[in-house]
Copies of this chain bind each other. A is one copy, B any other.
Amino acid sequence: MERVQLTDELSFSRIIHGMWRLADWKYSEQELLQLIEDCLEMGITTFDHADIYGDYTCEQIFGKALSLKPEWRDRMQLVTKCGIKPLSEKHPNTYIKHYDTSKEHILTAVDQSLSNLVTDRIDVLLIHRPDPFMDPEAVAEAFTLLRQAGKVLHFGVSNFTPVQVDMLSSYLDFPLVTNQIEVNVMNLEHFDNGNIEKCWEKRLRPMIWSPLAGGRIFHSEDPKAGRLRNTLEQIADDLGADGIDQVMYAWLLQHPLKMMPIVGSGKTERIRRAVKALELPLTRQQWFEIWTCAVGHDVP
């Protein structure tokens, strides 16, 4: 599979696997190992986590399985995130969902993630959400300590706006390597808020969460979803695609920015459909058909 170079030393697979629903799948360790092996065989080597996924359980489930195949660790890139503190029975002192990007919290969260994932290093650590109470000097101190200790090799952000990317970058001696943002045919906000341009300007390749709009396009009675479903089905027919999910992936994959969609399915078959989307020859006009349908009017 095509790889995307994030730095001289780091590359991701063009398609990334996301583990945020891992706990829901109730997989045995063998089933999970099979899923990981299928991914690796398809060329998907980058796995996306967060400390809080599955109410703080997904990292650990993954780590336990991975510990049975330690030789796989060097074949993959592990991404995880910190900075959100949701309500959870595991953290009874948290009485309101909030953010914590303090030095102490980042250091503690990374130690926990390393332990959960049964690994000695995280390839990329992301700040999960922009924090209005962030002290960028504290974040920079934490990142520097983690880097020096070899616990985290690279750093990025998620859901940051352009000014937030610039701001945090100005406190770091090394570049942020990605911004993980939501982009899909139902949500074009990052084309409006300058994030696509900021990625280009800073030579950042974004990780894309919710590439299928959380699935709501398949059933929603929202008129925009219906309109898009029709357009996507027409194009799927024209391309001989297996379904509109493939066209939605192709719409992201054909974009020249080299967006890296995160596929969150536990089913090998579904993941394979995303991989096959890499070969769909979506044309420029088809890309704009979808764009036009999504924004609701012709380009000016």
Contact = CB atoms under 8 A, between A and B. Distances in A.
Interface of A: 84, 94-100, 102, 129, 132-138, 159, 161-164, 166-167, 170-171, 191, 194, 196-198, 200-201, 255-256, 284-285, 287-289, 291-292, 298-300
A134 B300 CA distance: 15
A136 B98 contact: no
11 contacts: A96-B289, A96-B292, A96-B298, A98-B292, A98-B299, A100-B284, A129-B300, A132-B191, A133-B256, A133-B287, A161-B197
A96 B284 CA distance: 10
A283 to B, nearest CB: 10
A166 B162 CA distance: 12
9 pairs of A and B residues whose beta carbons are closest in the complex: A135-B256, A98-B288, A163-B194, A167-B197, A163-B197, A167-B201, A97-B298, A167-B200, A170-B201
A197 B284 CA distance: 33
Contacts of A200: 136, 167, 170-171
B167 A132 contact: no
Contact of A198 (B84, B159, B163): B163
A187 to B, nearest CB: 13
A299 B194 contact: no
A39 B84 CA distance: 41
Contacts of A84: 299
A166 B299 contact: no
B96 A288 contact: yes
Given A133-B256, A133-B288, A291-B132, A299 B163 contact: no
B197 A285 contact: no
A102 B133 CA distance: 38
Contacts of A289: 96
Given A96-B289, A167-B201, 7 more contacts: A95-B285, A97-B288, A132-B191, A133-B288, A137-B256, A163-B194, A164-B197
- Which residue, A138, A201, A291, has most C-beta atoms of chain B within 10 A? A201
A234 to B, nearest CB: 12
Contacts of A299: 84, 97-99, 129
Nearest to A129: B300
Contacts of A170: 200-201
A220 to B, nearest CB: 20
